[in-house]
Structure 1
Amino acid sequence: MGEGTQPNEYKLATPPDDGISSVKFAPQSSQFLLVSSWDCGVRLYDVTANHMRIKYQHSRPVLDCCFQDPVHGFSGGLDAVLKMYDFNTNTEVVLGKHDGAIRTVEFSSDVNVVVTGSWDSTVKLWDPRSRCLAGSFSQPDKVYTMGLCGDKVVVGTAGRRVLVWDLRNMGYVQQRRESSLKYQTRCIRCFPNKQGYVLSSIEGRVAVEYLDPSPEIQKKKYAFKCHRIKEDGVEKIYPVNAISFHSQHNTFATGGSDGFVNIWDGFNKKRLCQFHRYPTSISSLCFSADGSLLAIASSYMEDKEELPEQPDDTVYIRRVSDQETKPK
């Protein structure tokens, strides 16, 4: 089937004008999607109606966004400012700032805090009710990615370091780890069952890791190669930019700069399926809360040679079946 003719997926109307940095579904809803972009905008879409509801701006490119609940969102980026936006009243509040770009923004419903990770080598916690900083915590290097695991946050920094923090007691680091992958960490996401996390690198690999430090559990960890394409006998290796978990099945999707999306069963160590090739790099992925939809950002990332003709930045909404996402 040609590009754009998949019966089970469609493109969002009025997509961002520049690189898409993040797509996030609202909690408990498969209707609303928040999208942040290098065009300095954050957009709220009603994916059911395929309509952009709201757009607001930062002064510089936005690197991440997330929902607190269906009517509040957070966003941060190169302007180092954390914004909270109320979609009902169309008003924004600046919760505070970092000293460097905010690379990742997550909301923990378990602890009711916003967590931001920055290139200033800190993680900050924010209280959305009192709208103030609840604490700032030094990390060993620039923060590239974070995954929430119940009341824990798994932080991936430059230098291939991974730190596990307890959001209820940030007095010390619970675990310090080194990535089991040899190259720079690109994305970390945690299993819905809270037993571990998946980490991807810029070098076509994914690691499945477990939080329990006991030796018998640690024996189960492993890594595998993916997002590699043989062309004319030469293997091309692509960054794995995005990971998203299916909340019911504990399976996960990966998206790479090869333009492919794969679905994996991490516990049984196998690939369940691969979708058709998208026009360019997959920059972000997000399953809806019920697992019925997958938002796929196809957006050129400057990690390979300049393309003379860059494909448009597009968000695809794909209806996924149990056949594609359920362990066999």
Structure 2
Amino acid sequence: MAEWGQRAVDMARAQMALGIEADSLITLGSVEAVVGQGVARLREGIDLASANDMVETAVRGFHNLSVSLHATGSTGSETHRAYEEMFAYARQHHFRTETLIVDEAFYTLPTGDWDAVLRLAREARGETVWTIQLHLLEAFIVAGRAGPERSLPLLAVPLRALRGASASHKIFDLSILGRVTLLAGDARATLEHLDAIAMDIRRGLYPETDEAVVCALAAAIMQEDSAARDRWIGIALADEAAARRVAGRARRAFAQAERTASEGDLDLAISLLGESAESFGQSFLPFGETLARRRRIELLLRRNGAGDRDAAQAELAAILPYWGKAKATWYLAQLERWAADRGLTPMPPVITSERKMGV
């Protein structure tokens, strides 16, 4: 594929067909991202398109660049800088599409400004492969703020649309859908949805697909389903290419922690979960980070060594600010009950005061 792509670039260059050359560079760079390369070609295609006012081509290049940066090991900060460059370029050229709206929504979600995400979701209309992703983000927000009764019915439209979706969109969308159902407390549905893409999930290059593997593991733990847990540990660790990605390393560390904990080595498992949480944080995936920290709390309390309860309390304090800023009142209430059941102080005073102010 790469050889044919390079041939297309060379032919377009020889004919001075700038549009075809830029498109070919962007396509070739996107393909090469699968094997950990391609960023330089994407940049070359974007620069060529930008210099010749090929706005739509340049924006496509920026979109693919954000995916490729993650696939080749960049942090969330580096990927977000590429998004910001794309948004600025699009604004300069008064260019606005559904793809841009979706990218901006996913860029905004980790900041905790869920109200801004909802405004973006309402900007798009209809049922397309892109607007379905906005429906899923809206359902995630409603789950965090109002719980399963109001959020789970919102999944009917995306589930219907997914029947005719392409394989790549199905992998990504079901990854997000599994995140919604787990946030809403439906671990069984999470496993059902993610089991449907279990054999294909390694094809997903987005950070959300790495997070989805941890959602499946967390759901299996909640269900006390050891067979599902072991199956998803195997899936998480089978994809060695995931180690190139920051979120991929987060998912591998979480799976290794579960395997290690089941073998009785809590010390190593707790350390691995710390690595998982840190990598999810670097990937700007707050739900994945929360899942890793919650599991680390459970294992710290199970080990119950000197300082472990204080360490568990510190992990809880690290979880809460994002959900407070997002005004995820239903999920915060679940966290409070979960923490109290384990003898932890549910809400440190600083978080409580922020919530009262509506931050």
In the superposition, the TM-score normalised over structure 1's length comes to 0.29
- Structure with more strand by fraction: 1
Q: Max radius of gyration: which structure?
A: 2
- Please, what TM-score do these two structures have when normalized by structure 2? 0.27
